[in-house]
Amino acid sequence: MTSPSLLETELKLRIPATAPYRQLLAALGFRETVPAQAESSVLWDRRGELRAAGSALRLRRYAGQTRLTWKGPKVPDALLKIRPELETGVEDGHALEGILRALGFEPVMVLEKVRAVWSREELVACLDETPFGCYLELEGDPQAIRSAMEGLGLAPDRAEPRSYPELYQAQGLGAIPPR
């Protein structure tokens, strides 16, 4: 999700299950904007160029939409994950896949999870269920992220510094065999 500054600022936290956090988020003024549903994301790269640059190109299908996202290299931060992000809606995902292939890009990883999106004015919260555990992502203003984390009773040691692609890879999941 893109902030007006084109910088994504988020924190991913390990949680034992998503259900208890629904009530906690509601108590903090969040409302569910997208109910839990399957999300499928495919990462694309061209001969490892994006990965070598610390960037990613993702084609995501979620909540009846297809979106293309470019993420740039991470900005150093002790707790938060901050990186440039550009995202746009895609009318025809299959056509875009053809365009990416024509430009020399290939799918390199598939990530699947169940995601519910909650939001309030300055912050978005995503409750994610993955094949290897549950996570809460908080995205928005850095101070609002820290405040929500405290309000949810989540200590900094619950923070997961790895991205979903890194977590999938660590579990041996998501790889697409080369053609």
Which H/E stretch holds residue 135? strand 133-140
Give 60-113 pLDDT, tens digit per residue.
999 999 999 999 999 999 999 999 999 999 999 999 999 999 999 999 999 999
| pLDDT in the model for residue 2 | 44
Instruction: Please determine, for residue 177, whether its predicted confidence score (pLDDT) is greater than 80.
Output: no
Nearest to 7 by CA among 83, 87, 68, 121: 83
**Residue 130 main-chain phi, psi, to 5 deg:** -115, 170
User: Alpha-carbon distance 86 to 56, whole Å?
Assistant: 11
**Residue 20 main-chain phi, psi, to 5 deg:** -65, -25
pLDDT band at 179 (very low <50, low <70, confident <90, very high): low
pTM comes to 0.93
State percent of the chain over pLDDT 70: 96
With a CB cutoff of 8 Å and minimum separation 6, the contacts of 143 are none
**Mean pLDDT, the chain, integer:** 95
- Please state the domain extents for the chain: 7-170
**Number of residues that this document lists for the chain:** 179
User: Alpha-carbon distance 14 to 154, whole Å?
Assistant: 9
User: Alpha-carbon distance 25 to 56, whole Å?
Assistant: 30
pLDDT band at 176 (very low <50, low <70, confident <90, very high): confident
Strands 31-45 and 56-62: antiparallel
CATH architecture of 7-170: Beta Barrel (2.40)
Spatial contact of 50 and 57, defined as CB atoms under 8 Å apart: yes
**Residue 30 main-chain phi, psi, to 5 deg:** -80, 155
Within 38-153, where are the H helices?
49-52, 93-102, 142-151
